Amino acid sequence: MTPAVLVVEHDSALREILERVLHCAGFAPVTVPNGEEGLTLLRDGVPARVILLDLLDSRDFTSEQRRDPRLAQIPVLVTSAANQPWPPGLLADAVVRKPIDLDQLIARVRALCGATFI
């Protein structure tokens, strides 16, 4: 089964690029423009193996995600501009800085999916 990656990114152009790159790398990307829509999809049963989350949506999203036992174990990869301050209390499994190195992004997503994804 192709691992689904939930992409939460407010920038529509970047969201489109990430969708294409992830698809070409063998993932099944599902994209949304904000954390609220992302949480709704997850709660409705979208089977994401990894969440790719823009730092702007991260704090509220991760606190809600970690409170829901069905969603808490999904790894979160945060994308962040180099000059963005890290919000206190934000839990992320990995970080990729913008501008995004696409090879690094794919490697991190693969690692977060675990050894079962080839």
**pLDDT single digits (tens) 51-104:** 999 998 888 899 999 999 999 999 999 998 877 777 777 888 999 998 999 999
From 90, 94, 62, 64, select the one nearest 77 (Cα to Cα): 94
State mean pLDDT over 33-52.
96
Q: Determine the pLDDT at residue 84.
A: 77
Q: Determine the pLDDT at residue 2.
A: 87
From 50, 3, 1, select the one nearest 27 (Cα to Cα): 3
Domains along the chain with CATH numbers: 4-100+109-113 (3.40.50.2300)
**Gap between the Cα atoms of 58 and 78, Å rounded:** 7
